[in-house]
Amino acid sequence: MKRQYIVSIFAFLAILVIIATYILLTNPAGSNVPVYGYRIINTYPHAINAFTEGLVYDSGFLYESTGLNGQSSLRRVELRTGAVLQSVSMPQEYFGEGITIVGNRIYQLTYQNEIGFIYNRTSFALIGNFTYQSTEGWGLTYDGSRLIMSDGSSTLYFLDPNTLRYVGQVTVTDASPISNLNELEYIKGKVYANIFGTNKIAIIDLSTGHVDSWIDLSGLPGPTHPDINSVLNGIAYDSTGDRLFVTGKMWPNLYEIQLVPTG
Ligand SMILES: [Ca+2]
């Protein structure tokens, strides 16, 4: 009897371990929302000197904001070749962060300078600047009426694109708050957010802040020379062609991916 009892305990523990492993593997966030895997549709070159902090696709081109003091820039990039077609360098004191496009204006955040810049989309001429309440600027996107920014916390902030005034915020949660929200992209009514330092993208319902689903990009080929800073960061969307692009800081490639349901 005693031996049977011990065997039963071990069998029970083994089942628990199997269930826990399955949950962790199928749902890295530890919640009940769906997790997507991915399929690489196309691989394009990406400048390895680009410390990608902001990425947008618009009218046939990629626009990219790069960070680090002394290396920060705004670039127009050819998708197929990765060639930088046009760029402006930021003064040494600024660390470029998220960008988004509204009409013929490009908005760009800075990391800890507490200032954002507005450029003419065509000429890259600087046409204005703005300040924001958040202490740091990370990701930026646009939902058709509001600028949406992240600051590395679990909060997304909404700004009026004309007045640049704060008009609201939402806390992003999946059972508990999800911090380290980084580069953003507004896609078909949801906000996609890179989670800094992970291979995960959260797909967020803006009205509630709830994470609807996750994308697990584990295994996506990153930098050829691993660097602790060369993390996944950069989501862009071609709404005309329904193409989703991702890359990372100093990654040699930019990928068009398709989401694949798992489980
Ligand atoms: Ca983006």
The per-residue pLDDT for range 174-226, each reduced to its tens digit, is: 999 999 999 999 999 999 999 999 999 999 999 999 999 999 999 999 988 87
Residue 155 CB partners (closer than 8 Å, separation 6+)? 134, 169, 170, 171, 172, 181
Question: What is the distance in A from the centroid of ligand 1 to the CA of 142?
Answer: 9
Assess whether 22 and 139 both reside in one domain: no
Residues 25, 38, single domain; the answer is: no
Distance between Cα 141 and ligand 1 center (Å):
6
CA–centroid distance, 237 to ligand 1, in Å, is 8
Asked if residue 17 and residue 100 are part of one domain, the reply reads no
Q: Do 26 and 63 belong together in one domain?
A: no
Q: 74 C-alpha to center of ligand 1: Å?
A: 13
CA 17–ligand 1 middle distance (angstroms): 38
CA 57 / ligand 1 centre spacing (Å): 8
Q: How far is the CA of 112 from the centre of ligand 1 (A)?
A: 19
CA–CA distance, 59 with 76 (Å, rounded to integer): 11
* pLDDT given for residue 30 in this prediction: 54
Are 51 and 86 found together in one domain?
A: yes
Q: Are residues 19 and 141 in the same domain?
A: no
**Residues bordering ligand 1, an ion, CB closer than 5 Å:** 55, 185, 235
CB atoms within 10 A of CB 49: 11
* Containing structural domain, residue 54: 33-261
- Examine the domain organization and report whether 196 and 99 are in the same domain: yes
In a shared domain, residues 168 and 218: yes
Check whether residue 154 and residue 228 sit in a common domain.
yes
CA atoms in the 13 A half-sphere facing the CB of 182: 21
Which residues in the chain show pLDDT less than 70? Answer: 1-31, 263
Distance of CA 9 from the midpoint of ligand 1 (Å): 50
User: Does 11 share its domain with 134?
Assistant: no
95 and 223 inside one domain: yes
Give the Å distance between the CA of 29 and the centre of ligand 1.
22
pLDDT of residue 133: 79
Q: How many domains does the chain have?
A: 2
Nearest to 234 by CA among 188, 189, 198, 182: 182
Tell me which residue of 121, 113, 84 sits closest to 97, measured CA to CA.
113
Give the Cα separation of 253 and 263 in Å (integer): 28
Regarding whether 4 and 89 lie in a shared domain, the answer is: no
Q: How far is the CA of 54 from the centre of ligand 1 (A)?
A: 6
